[in-house]
Structure 1
Amino acid sequence: MIQAKTRWNLAPWGKDDDQQAKLLSDQLDIPPLVAKLLVQRGYKEKEAAETFLRGGADQLYDPYLLKGMKEAVARIKQASDNKEFIRIYGDYDADGVSSTSLLIHVFRELGYHFDYYIPHRALEGYGMNRGAIDLAAAAGVRLIVTVDTGISAYEQIEYAKELGIDVVVTDHHEPPEQLPDAVAVVNPKQEDCPYPFKGLAGVGVAFKLAHALMERPPMEWTDIVCLGTIADIMPLTDENRVLVRAGLQQLQDTSNTGFRALSEACGIELDQVTSTTVAFGMAPRINAAGRLDHAKRAVELLTTGDYDEAIRSASSLDVLNKERQRIVEGIVKEAEQQWQGKREAAQASSVPEPAVIVLAGEGWNVGVIGIVASKMLERYYKPVIVLGIDAESGMCKGSARSIEGYDLHAALTECDSLLDHYGGHQAAAGMSLHRDQLPAFEQKLGELAMEWLTEQDWIPKTAIDLICSVEDASVHTISQLAQLEPFGAGNPSPRLLLQSAELADYRTMGKESRHLKLSLRKGRAALDAVGFGMGELSEQLRSGLPVNLVGELSINEWNGQRKAQLQIHDIHFGGELMRFPEREHFGQVYQMLRRMRRMPMNGLESQLSQQSGWHEQTVKVMIEVFRELGFIEIDGTHLVVVETPEKRDLATSEKYQAAKLEAERLRMPYVG
Structure 2
Amino acid sequence: MKKRWVINTPPEWEKIDKLSKELNCSHVIANLLLQRGVDTAEEAHAFFNPTLNMLHDPFLMKDMDKAVLRLEKAISTEEKVMIYGDYDVDGTTAVALLYKYLKNKCENPEYYIPDRYTEGYGVSILAIDYAARNGISLMIVTDCGVKAVEKVRYAKSKGVDVIICDHHTPGDELPDAVAVLDPQRKDCHYPYRWLSGCGVSFKLAQAYSMKHNLPMADLYKLLDLVCVSIASDIVPITGENRILAHFGLLQLNRKPSLGLKTILSFSGIGKDLTINDIVFRIGPKINAAGRVESGNKSVELLIADDETRATEVAASINNFNDQRKKLDHDITEEALEYINQSHYDQSQKATVLYNPNWHKGVIGIVASRLTEYYYRPTVILTESNGLATGSARSVEGFDLYYAISQCSEFLENYGGHKYAAGLTLRLENIEPFKAKFQKIVSETITEEMLTPQINIDAQIKLNDITPDLYAMIQKFAPFGPNNTIPVFMTENVTNFIGSKQVGRNNEHLKLVVVDDTRVCNDRSGIAFGMGEAFSRISKGEYFDICYTLQENEFMGKSDIQMMIRDLKFKEE
Give runs of aligned pairs for residues 255-294 of structure 1, distance below 5 A. Answer: 255-269=256-270, 271-294=271-294
1:93/1:290 contact within 8 Å kept? yes
2:199/2:226 contact within 8 Å kept? yes
1:66/1:194 contact within 8 Å kept? yes
Give runs of aligned pairs for residues 273-352 of structure 1, distance below 5 A. Answer: 273-341=273-341, 344-346=343-345
Give runs of aligned pairs for residues 138-177 of structure 1, distance below 5 A. Answer: 138-177=133-172
Structure 2: distance between partners of 1:133 and 1:492: 41
Corresponding position of 1:587: none
Structure 1: distance between partners of 2:445 and 2:197: 31
Structure 1: distance between partners of 2:63 and 2:95: 19
Alpha-carbon deviation of 1:255? 4.5
The counterpart of 1:556, out of the listed 552, 556, 564, is 552
Gaps of 5+ in 1: 347-351, 577-668
Deviations 1:247-279, CA, capped at 9 Å, x for gaps: 00111111411121111100012x311111111
2:494/2:537 contact within 8 Å kept? no
Corresponding position of 2:430: 438
Alpha-carbon deviation of 1:538? 2.2
* Partner secondary structure for residue 423 of structure 1: strand
1:80/1:113 contact within 8 Å kept? no
Corresponding position of 2:479: 487
1:98/1:225 contact within 8 Å kept? yes
2:348/2:442 contact within 8 Å kept? no
Structure 1: distance between partners of 2:472 and 2:320: 38
* Partner secondary structure for residue 45 of structure 2: helix
State whether structure 2 residue 494 is matched by structure 1 residue 510: no
Deviations 1:438-472, CA, capped at 9 Å, x for gaps: 11111111111122122322222110000121111
* Partner secondary structure for residue 525 of structure 2: strand
Alpha-carbon deviation of 1:41? 2.3
Corresponding position of 1:367: 361
Deviations 1:580-620, CA, capped at 9 Å, x for gaps: xxxxxxxxxxxxxxxxxxxxxxxxxxxxxxxxxxxxxxxxx
Gaps of 5+ in 2: none
Identity %: 35
1:83/1:113 contact within 8 Å kept? no
Give runs of aligned pairs for residues 27-46 of structure 1, distance below 5 A. Answer: 27-46=22-41
Alpha-carbon deviation of 1:30? 4.0
* Partner secondary structure for residue 481 of structure 2: coil
* Partner secondary structure for residue 247 of structure 1: helix
Corresponding position of 1:227: 228
With over 3 angstroms needed to count, the CA separation of the structure-2 counterparts of 1:378 and 1:345, relative to structure 1, is closer
Structure 1: distance between partners of 2:444 and 2:540: 45
The counterpart of 1:450, out of the listed 433, 442, 452, is 442
2:22/2:41 contact within 8 Å kept? yes
With over 3 angstroms needed to count, the CA separation of the structure-2 counterparts of 1:315 and 1:479, relative to structure 1, is farther
Counterpart residue type for residue 490 of structure 2: L
Alpha-carbon deviation of 1:188? 0.5
Counterpart residue type for residue 161 of structure 1: K
1:31/1:480 contact within 8 Å kept? no
1:463/1:495 contact within 8 Å kept? yes
Counterpart residue type for residue 333 of structure 1: E
Q: How many residues align?
A: 562
Corresponding position of 2:378: 384
Alpha-carbon deviation of 1:498? 1.2
Alpha-carbon deviation of 1:135? 1.0
Alpha-carbon deviation of 1:286? 0.6
Alpha-carbon deviation of 1:29? 4.4
Alpha-carbon deviation of 1:530? 0.8
With over 3 angstroms needed to count, the CA separation of the structure-2 counterparts of 1:56 and 1:366, relative to structure 1, is same
Alpha-carbon deviation of 1:491? 0.6
Counterpart residue type for residue 269 of structure 2: I
Corresponding position of 2:15: 20
Alpha-carbon deviation of 1:111? 4.0
Please identify, of 369-378 and 247-256, the stretch whose mean Cα deviation from structure 2 is larger.
Answer: 247-256
1:377/1:384 contact within 8 Å kept? yes
The counterpart of 2:2, out of the listed 1, 5, 16, is 5
Alpha-carbon deviation of 1:5? 1.7
2:78/2:106 contact within 8 Å kept? no
Counterpart residue type for residue 565 of structure 1: Q
* Partner secondary structure for residue 36 of structure 1: helix
Alpha-carbon deviation of 1:124? 1.2
Structure 1: distance between partners of 2:25 and 2:421: 41
State whether structure 2 residue 421 is matched by structure 1 residue 429: yes
The counterpart of 2:115, out of the listed 108, 112, 120, is 120
* Partner secondary structure for residue 111 of structure 2: strand
Alpha-carbon deviation of 1:280? 1.1
1:475/1:555 contact within 8 Å kept? no
Alpha-carbon deviation of 1:225? 0.3
